[in-house]
Chains A and B, each alone.
Chain A
Amino acid sequence: MDPVRPFRIVTGVTRELLRSTGKRGIALAGEGPETRLFVEWMSQAGLPCILASAEEVLKARAFLSRVCLEEGGTPEAGTLTQAKHPERGTVSEPRWIEESEEDRRWATTLATLAVAARGDLVPTLCANKTMLVMIPAPIEPFLPLGDLYASEIHRMAGECSVPAFLQEQVEEGVREVDRSLRNYLEYGMAFGEAFHQIPSPLKDDIRRSLQRSRQRWQPRPLIPKLSAATLGADLDL
């Protein structure tokens, strides 16, 4: 897939976002093909982009662990200690083996928000469309790759992120899923018709994910309407 078109459109929207909000640039965290692709595009476009460091993400994870008072503590606490005090031993890569996707997302979001607040930047998440329609709505207000399916990212970057239950799909499988998603979401096909090529139990997993995410994507901001003109509903500043 020729990246020129998405590059032009995504960086054009990003440029106008920074101009209209007066923000200095983009803040993001985490790693993954989408983040790497977007950071590269930002560099090519000459737009400021700050990526939270791995240590900042670890700090966010440790903070969440303390604040959220997880039962049984954090399986990764030992690893975090090692990373924080390299003189005590080898600094290891953070391991997320027993951590849910949602925990990981919160940590990257928190790190992103911290970097954004510090630098007057726009908090940003580089999730693709296949991910976004199957996960709870992110906190970050800017999702620059949110209209590109995982298979489109794969065609540009050679890899892509997908929800955990899709990770066993080979490239062709993700393309099939995306084709079905497009038929369902964009062309108005009923679920059964759109996904008839996808076997169960994968089809059932997809259906459940879509249903869960639908419940958790609410319009933002959500303000109960009491006056004649309400932010988020019918009042535009």
Chain B
Amino acid sequence: MNDLRVVIHQTAPLLGEVEANERALRERVEDSLGAGLVAFSELALTGYSLRSRVQRMASPLSSSSPLSLPTGSPPVAYGLPERGLDQLVYNSAVLVHENRVLLKHRKVYLPTYGLFDEGRYFARGDEPPEVAVLPSGWRVGMLLCEDFWHPGLIYLLAMQRADLVLVLAAAPGRGDPGEDSPPSQALFRSTRAWTLLARSAALQYGLYLVLVNRAGVEEAISFAGGSIVVAPDGDVLAEAPQGEEASLEVALSERALRRARTPYSHMRDEDPAFLRRALDTLSRGE
């Protein structure tokens, strides 16, 4: 397995302007033709605050890529609203290559509190996240935003031996970071929480964690940006600025994966059967 060159694009999709967003995605993919993997944010095709407009904007996904990409494009991950065969609308992410869908994930945890209202407009994904194998041999899993705040899902991807987990987000910026914040986190306090989660997950499961957030503004909400790439030892390899469009390019190394898992064998020794017994007990209320 060779090193994997990952390019992430922290864009500012225009709300409801699918054609303009498609164009922007294609242009960036064209600029990244030599990469091993390209990633965009949650709902990059449509923007986030669609509310009832998702009914008009969601499209069915077949086995072929919903977005027409240039010939020779690397695998590309991005978010979009999906109309399921059950006619329900899902907040989905796809990983496509050579106009085929390699992997799809429907957001399981739909935030419906505070300024979030996804539970009103989207159906909950009811399939566990899966891992796909890239042409390079890297094993990739995907989660969407709020999914990452529920440890069970990244656990499931780690149990499937993911080398790399993509978290596609549309995370708004919230809270004053305080005067002691480093310049890279000077806009929103919320970015600090995401960074801590990402570093902790990468370290705990010995995998690469790539968080792609978006930038830009929709109505009153400013999206935080602050995309990061974290190594399997928990170190931040690259960090995008807060609140503005940016691109990051990072080489992920198979050697770093091996180093992180030697001699530490946390995942080798993990016992899903034990966990299943414990969860059964918990759900029985004993």
Q: Once bound together, how far apart are the Cα atoms of A50 and B195, in whole Å?
A: 41
Given A5-B186, A8-B187: A13 and B217 interface contact (C-beta under 8 Å): yes
Contacts of A15 in B (CB 8 A): 217
Instruction: Determine if A193 is an interface residue (Cβ-Cβ < 8 Å).
Output: no
Q: Once bound together, how far apart are the Cα atoms of A234 and B51, in whole Å?
A: 8
Contacts of B177 in A (CB 8 A): 5
Contacts of B51 in A (CB 8 A): 236
The residue in A12, A234, A235 that gathers the most chain B C-beta atoms within 10 A of its C-beta is: A12
Band of interface residues on A:
10 to 19
Q: Once bound together, how far apart are the Cα atoms of A4 and B181, in whole Å?
A: 14
Q: How many residues of B contact A (CB 8 A)?
A: 18
Contacts of A13 in B (CB 8 A): 217, 219-220, 222
Instruction: Determine if B35 is an interface residue (Cβ-Cβ < 8 Å).
Output: no
Within 8 A of B (CB), among A9-40: 9, 12-13, 15-16, 20
Within 8 A of B (CB), among A219-237: 229, 234-237
Interface membership of chain B positions 176-187, coded 1 if the CB is closer than 8 angstroms to chain A and 0 otherwise: 110100000011
Instruction: Determine if A71 is an interface residue (Cβ-Cβ < 8 Å).
Output: no
Contacts of B173 in A (CB 8 A): 9
Q: Which of B53, B176, B187, B222 has a CB less than 8 Å from the CB of A236?
A: B53
Contacts of A12 in B (CB 8 A): 217, 222, 243
Q: Once bound together, how far apart are the Cα atoms of A21 and B211, in whole Å?
A: 31
Within 8 A of B (CB), among A192-237: 229, 234-237
Instruction: Determine if B52 is an interface residue (Cβ-Cβ < 8 Å).
Output: yes
Distance in Å: Cβ of B24 to nearest Cβ of chain A: 15
Contacts of A2 in B (CB 8 A): 179
Interface membership of chain A positions 176-194, coded 1 if the CB is closer than 8 angstroms to chain B and 0 otherwise: 0000000000000000000
Contacts of A236 in B (CB 8 A): 50-53
Given A5-B186, A9-B187: A235 and B220 interface contact (C-beta under 8 Å): no
Q: Is the CB of B243 within 8 A of A20?
A: no
- Using CB atoms, name the residue of chain B closest to A186: B175
Within 8 A of A (CB), among B196-225: 216-220, 222
Q: Once bound together, how far apart are the Cα atoms of A108 and B75, in whole Å?
A: 56
Q: Is the CB of A20 within 8 A of B220?
A: no
Contacts of A229 in B (CB 8 A): 52
Q: Is the CB of B15 within 8 A of A20?
A: yes
Contacts of B50 in A (CB 8 A): 236
Interface membership of chain B positions 241-252, coded 1 if the CB is closer than 8 angstroms to chain A and 0 otherwise: 001000000000
Distance in Å: Cβ of B244 to nearest Cβ of chain A: 9
Q: Once bound together, how far apart are the Cα atoms of A229 and B56, in whole Å?
A: 13
Given A229-B52, A236-B52: A5 and B187 interface contact (C-beta under 8 Å): yes
The residue in A5, A229, A234 that gathers the most chain B C-beta atoms within 10 A of its C-beta is: A5
Q: Once bound together, how far apart are the Cα atoms of A234 and B177, in whole Å?
A: 34
Q: Is the CB of B179 within 8 A of A16?
A: no
Within 8 A of A (CB), among B84-131: none
Q: Once bound together, how far apart are the Cα atoms of A191 and B243, in whole Å?
A: 35
- Using CB atoms, name the residue of chain A closest to B187: A5
Contacts of B243 in A (CB 8 A): 8-9, 12
Given A9-B222, A12-B243, A13-B222: A234 and B52 interface contact (C-beta under 8 Å): yes
Since A9-B173, A20-B15 are in contact, a sample of 5 more A-B pairs with Cβ atoms closer than 8 Å, ordered by chain A residue number, is: A2-B179, A12-B217, A13-B222, A16-B217, A229-B52
> Can you give 23 A-B contacts (C-beta < 8 A)?
A2-B179, A4-B186, A5-B176, A5-B177, A5-B186, A8-B187, A8-B243, A9-B187, A9-B222, A12-B222, A12-B243, A13-B217, A13-B219, A13-B220, A15-B217, A16-B216, A16-B218, A20-B15, A229-B52, A235-B52, A236-B50, A236-B53, A237-B53
